[in-house]
Chains A and B, each alone.
Chain A
Amino acid sequence: MKIRCLFFASLREKIQTGEMELEMEKGTAKDAADLLRLLHPGAASDFDRLAMALNERYCKPDAELTDGDVLAFIPPVSGGGS
């Protein structure tokens, strides 16, 4: 299956892209993150502190992925003012 991965803020800059397509066998959000750790060893530790969102909703690491899903990697957020 193919899933679309989205990256933001410091992670986007570190891996130098905002999005990529990932081809993988059946798996979970954590499996996708583990694969990305291998593809981007320089950002491996970043993935430990990230939340994930599946199709625009926060998800748990064990969320099952299906073909065409959008998986976003969410660094700690910083919206708003003081």
Chain B
Amino acid sequence: MILIQTEDFSVDKTVQTLRKTGAGAIVTFTGAVRETSYEGTPVISVEWDVYEPMALKVLEAIRREAIEKFALTDAAITHRKGRQAPGENLVLIAAAAAHRRDAFRGCEYIMDEIKKRAPLWKKERLADGKERWIEE
């Protein structure tokens, strides 16, 4: 399951979609907005620019790669768009496998590849009045 959505997500509901016979381990990663920038300035909010049709394709490709590489029984990715405040959820990765090691590795692979390839851009609005795109 791949979703890019404005509204928040439910970790429990997503995990339920991955429950199948054979999934002995389900690992989830939830990314949230930090309250300070890398330099320590308080963050007011983050806002997203998304190339949605391509992002959906890239996320699905990453999901399929992870399933194949780590023998996952299933995997799900939900990424928020719009604007979020510190503490709010940004991204949810869930990876299911027969055993925990594959589920952990699959989950980490998906998150790492999203950071490298998915066409999504985050803009931080800071308490000192500055705004900046995070383009790493």
Contact = CB atoms under 8 A, between A and B. Distances in A.
Contacts, number: 79
A80 B49 contact: no
A56 B133 CA distance: 22
Interface stretch (A21-29, A31-39, A70-78): A70-78
A42 interface: no
A6 interface: yes
Q: From DSSP, what is the main secondary structure of chain B's interface residues?
A: mixed
Given A80-B31, A81-B33, A82-B34, A10 B133 contact: yes
Interface residues on B, range: 20 to 34
A30 B133 CA distance: 24
Nearest to A49: B135
A8 B121 contact: yes
A13 B121 CA distance: 13
A78 B57 CA distance: 17
A74 B54 CA distance: 11
Nearest to B132: A10
Given A8-B121, A78-B120, 15 more contacts: A8-B119, A9-B49, A9-B133, A9-B135, A58-B117, A74-B51, A75-B135, A77-B121, A78-B115, A78-B121, A79-B118, A80-B31, A80-B118, A81-B90, A82-B32
